[in-house]
Structure formats: structure tokens, C-alpha cells
């Protein structure tokens, strides 16, 4: 299947807003199960977060582009980079609660799990507490979830749903 990708510049400045907008657009565009919605950090004179939508067919791409352009979004073909952070992807809706690494890989588009600070992959029966927030990233064509060790030999995704802002205690 050839993916068809659009980049959406919605003038978003933070990941939380970008995540929310991706979910809103996915619902409004009625994206099919095989679609991907990613965020991309844009550096330069105007740092922002761009969105990409990967759709399974050209007709879906054209329809999405027309509808987004009609809503006054700046839309272009292709992805801003190869390192997108996946927010919408096949299987994301079932990655809730605590599951094993094997279940996560079987139920979603995630290709592999890495553990911060470890050269080895986690065992398939290692439990991962998702906090209902699993944001893998594209790395060399694979969707990779980076996890961290947690209490009792479990893992948690490296990205947490509500991070403490930098300098929150000053």
C-alpha cells in the first residue's frame, strides 16, 4: 500500500494543542482505521508543531486536502520530516491500562519497544502501564515506543500525558 501524506500547518505551538487538533481533524475527516496522524517539531524563525496525515489512498488524500484547505489550513503534500510522533495510528484506541509488550506490539502499528538506558529490548511479557497515552515515534521507517523502567519491573511510556512544565517550581 502506498501511503499518501499531507502536512498541515495550523499555527500550533505546543504538543498538547497539536494532539487535540489531530483528534478533532480525524473525527471531522472521518479518517479510516489505517490512517496515521503525527506531530512534527518545526524549528527556525517561527518554531511550531506541524501535523501530518498519512492516508491509505489518493482519493482520501484529495478529499482531506480539499476539506482542510476550505477550513483555511495551509496544506502541502509530503511529510515535514521522517521523525513524526504518532498520535493517531492503527490500534492506538486499545492501548489502555496495563498490557504486556507482546500485546502492545500485536494490537497496534508499533513495530518495537525500546527502554531508555538499556541496550536490550524488553521481554515480551514485560508489563507496560500506558496511562492511556502512547506516543511512539518514527525511526528509520519503524514506529518505535520509547519506555522507561517503573515500579515493580514494569515500564511506562517515556512521554507522560501531563508533564510538569519546566521551571514549574520557581
| Whole-number Å distance between alpha carbons of 147 and 22 | 23
Q: Cell numbers for 27, please give them.
A: 473525527
| Whole-number Å distance between alpha carbons of 146 and 80 | 22
| Whole-number Å distance between alpha carbons of 4 and 52 | 10
pTM greater than 0.85 (yes/no) = yes
Q: Cell numbers for 55, please give them.
A: 492516508
Q: How far is CA 115 from CA 14, 55, 96, 154, 162, in A?
A: 25, 30, 19, 11, 20
| Whole-number Å distance between alpha carbons of 139 and 161 | 21
DSSP-based three-state secondary structure for 41: strand
pLDDT in tens, 12-53: 999 999 999 999 999 999 999 889 999 999 988 888 999 999
**Which mean pLDDT values do the consecutive 10-residue runs of the chain (170 residues) have?**
83 93 95 93 89 94 95 93 94 96 98 95 97 95 96 94 56
Q: Cell numbers for 108, please give them.
A: 497496534
Amino acid at each position: 500500500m502506498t501511503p499518501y501524506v499531507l502536512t498541515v500547518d495550523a499555527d500550533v505551538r505546543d504538543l498538547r494543542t497539536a494532539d487535540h487538533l489531530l483528534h478533532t481533524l480525524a473525527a471531522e475527516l472521518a479518517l479510516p482505521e489505517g490512517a496515521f496522524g503525527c506531530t512534527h517539531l518545526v524549528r527556525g524563525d517561527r518554531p511550531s508543531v506541524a501535523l501530518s496525515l498519512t492516508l491509505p489512498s489518493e482519493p482520501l488524500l484529495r478529499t482531506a486536502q480539499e476539506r482542510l484547505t476550505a477550513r483555511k489550513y495551509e496544506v502541502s503534500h509530503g511529510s515535514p520530516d521522517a521523525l513524526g510522533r504518532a498520535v493517531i495510528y492503527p490500534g492506538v484506541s486499545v492501548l489502555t491500562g496495563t498490557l504486556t509488550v507482546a500485546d502492545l506490539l500485536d494490537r497496534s502499528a508499533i513495530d518495537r519497544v525500546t527502554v531508555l538506558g538499556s541496550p536490550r529490548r524488553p521481554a515480551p511479557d514485560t508489563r507496560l502501564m500506558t496511562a492511556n497515552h502512547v506516543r511512539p515515534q518514527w525511526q528509520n521507517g519503524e514506529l518505535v515506543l520509547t519506555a522507561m523502567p517503573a515500579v515493580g519491573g514494569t515500564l511506562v511510556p517515556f512521554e507522560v500525558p501531563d508533564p510538569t512544565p519546566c521551571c514549574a517550581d520557581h
